[in-house]
Structure 1
Amino acid sequence: MDFTIAAILGLDGLTNGAIYALVALALVLVFSVTRVIFIPQGEFVAFGALTLAALQLGKVPGTVWLLVMLAVAGAVLDTVQAIRERWAFGRIARRQVGAVVVPLLIAWVTRWLAPQQPPLLVQVLLTLALVTAMGPLLYRVAYRALSGASVLTLLIVSVGVHFALTGIGLVFFGAEGYRTPAFWDARFDAGPLSFTGQTLIIFGASIALIAALFLFFERTLAGKALRATSVNRTGARLMGISGDAAGSLSFTMAAFIGALSGLLISPSTTIYYDTGFLIGLKGFVAAVFAGLASFPMALAGAIGVGLIESFGSFWASAFKEVIVFTVILPILLWRSFVDPHHEEH
């Protein structure tokens, strides 16, 4: 291996690492706020890519019907809770507008515009809106009632949600894979390296999102509320911060990050209904490196995973996945020494 090959592999590793970084940040965010190891994060990535692919073909994406299903299920659960707790009519109306009316409106607009094949920017915005709206609904349907459960129980629920979403993805999108056109077809040469426009968009979007997350957590009241919840859920609740609202917001952000990741990666690789699982697992390796607690460490871990995958594919392409996932073993051993486990009470 000479310097040119190493530089090319390094660029490829950094590009993949940028995507894994977004997934890892979403996993750390969700776990720190809700204690949910969110295995289905990869499904948001796949749904984002497949939704855009369907819109570019002039088809109504299956995520429209999934969003409607989640909205109806959320409405039923909210109605049952309202009857049991005897909510005032105003509270019921506010809850239904946010949890049902807005998602149904997004689904209707997408169904109306999809056959017209709107411009790429409109398709991207529709994709982000569709997948992002699934986040809080998924939290409402699958997780909110279990907010006080143990981490193991929440993990089991996440496994079930993952299999359910994977099966739904197969039904709505089929077994064939899709690849979307690049957002920018330009190419730039810098010595032995050749940067495509899509690569630059991946780097730019990842950096912009990381900077936006930093500003959100440092400068906004909602971000500070999420930070407080992640540090001490009981203390945050005593200070008037709703744990349910924090969980819903974290899932919303995770869904947006997943959809954006899918849009960024789909021009570079073919996406199938179950592709998100592998992407999510690689992001999980990076999140474990961070102890599911540190955003900077998750970013560093994701870059490391991308580089290991890239160089591993050069030396032993048939075993690149094995190499990446084997890395988690020494990471877990290291984490067990630096952060000893304490029993939950």
Structure 2
Amino acid sequence: MNTTIMLFLVQDGITNGAIYALLGLALVLVFAVTRVILIPQGEFVTYGALTYATLSAGHVPGTARLAVAMGMVAFGLDLFAGRKLLHLRLVARAFAVNILLPVVILALTSWLAGQKSIAINIALSLLIVAAIGLFLYRIAFQPIAHTSVLVLLIVSVGCHLALQGLGLVFFGAEGQRGPAILDAAFTIGPLRFTGQSMAVYAITIAFIVGLWLFFGFTLMGKALRATAVNRLGARLVGIRTTLSGQIAFLLASVIGAISGILIVPITTLYYDTGFLIGLKGFIAAIIGGLVSYPLTAVAALIVGTVEAFSSFYASNFKEVIVFTLILPVLVLRSLAAPEVEEEKD
């Protein structure tokens, strides 16, 4: 290996690592606030990418109709949950969020699907996937938010399988690619930087800075941090933990959709590709202990770099090598964990 090849591999690793950093941050955010290990994060990536590719081809994606269907189910759950205190304001709010919002998104999608504007297609894709993420929390996780992490994990796996199957129905078994966000390119020495790779770097940095500002300087961000630290304590001081969970899922779905939109011009994506991508973000989140945002971002860059070098030296085993990174971390955390005596009957 010469210096030029090494620079190419490092560049590729940083590009992939930036995507994994976004997904890792989303996983840490959701787990910290709701205790949910968000296995469907990969489906948000797939839905965002393939929805964008479908819109770019001039078609209405099935995910827009899925958002309407999920909104109807969420509306029924809201009415059932508030049946004892049912009043006009509650019904109007539930109708606006669960029925009117996805219907407006579907109408906009049907109206604008034939246009070739990249900005419009990106905006519609983010709106559709954000609505799906919001309704997913309301339908699957909000009713059981008080249960154990194991139960939430089982439900998360079930949601992943359901969304993956629906992805096959909506997008088919063949892969798709979307248009690049930026067509510009420039070279620095032997390296060539495309507009798409620069968009990956810029959006990743913007999201990291934005999340830091959001959690550090906004009232809603501080409420999410309080919910992450102590859910019961947050409720006692008047923080709506249900709203915190909805915001966490909304942010995670948007981050997943943006990640997919950044990936789909670079490589062909299939209905089940997002799961593997999400797993690599999950490795970064585990290395960060599911609590540390900076450590998760650094770990994601390491995962991306290891994947790039593994694909060069041992392409057949690159996935094995990447997933092996989690083993020493788990061993070290296990050794560092305090011993807990088992209760005797």
TM-score tier, shorter chain, comes to over 0.9
Structure 1 runs, 4 residues or longer, greater than 4 Å off: 339-343
- CA displacement 1:76-135 (0-9 Å, x = unmatched): 11121122x333221221232123321221122112221x22411111111111111111
TM-score, scaled relative to structure 1: 0.96
Identity, in percent, stands at 54
- CA displacement 1:230-260 (0-9 Å, x = unmatched): 0111111111001111000000000000010
Q: 1:101 to 1:128 in 2, by over 3 A?
A: same
Tell me the amino acid that sits aligned with residue 32 of structure 1.
Answer: A
Q: Give the paired residue count.
A: 341
Report the counterpart of residue 260 of structure 2 in structure 1.
Answer: 262
TM-score, scaled relative to structure 2: 0.96
Report the counterpart of residue 55 of structure 2 in structure 1.
Answer: 55
Tell me the amino acid that sits aligned with residue 236 of structure 1.
Answer: A
Gaps of 5+ in 2: none
Tell me the amino acid that sits aligned with residue 94 of structure 1.
Answer: R
- 1:270-289 alignment runs, 5 A limit: 270-289=268-287
SS in 2 for 1:252: helix
| Mapped partners of 1:334, 1:180: distance in 2 | 42
SS in 2 for 1:58: coil
Gaps of 5+ in 1: none
Find out whether 1:309 has 2:278 as its counterpart. no
| Mapped partners of 1:25, 1:184: distance in 2 | 25
| Mapped partners of 2:257, 2:41: distance in 1 | 10
Contact 1:70/1:134, CA 8 A, preserved across alignment: yes
Find out whether 1:22 has 2:45 as its counterpart. no
| Mapped partners of 1:216, 1:342: distance in 2 | 37
| Mapped partners of 1:106, 1:261: distance in 2 | 21
- 1:38-187 alignment runs, 5 A limit: 38-83=38-83, 85-114=84-113, 116-187=114-185
Q: CA deviation at 1:342?
A: 6.9
Contact 1:45/1:276, CA 8 A, preserved across alignment: yes
Q: CA deviation at 1:181?
A: 1.8
SS in 2 for 1:272: coil
- CA displacement 1:159-181 (0-9 Å, x = unmatched): 00000000000001100100112
Contact 2:56/2:179, CA 8 A, preserved across alignment: no
SS in 2 for 1:149: coil
Contact 2:43/2:164, CA 8 A, preserved across alignment: yes
- CA displacement 1:157-211 (0-9 Å, x = unmatched): 0000000000000001100100112122222111121111111110001101111
Find out whether 1:12 has 2:8 as its counterpart. no
Q: 1:103 to 1:30 in 2, by over 3 A?
A: same
Contact 1:67/1:133, CA 8 A, preserved across alignment: yes
| Mapped partners of 1:96, 1:60: distance in 2 | 24
- 1:189-204 alignment runs, 5 A limit: 189-204=187-202
Q: CA deviation at 1:339?
A: 4.5
Q: 1:82 to 1:258 in 2, by over 3 A?
A: same
Judge which range, 74-83 or 24-33, deviates more: 74-83
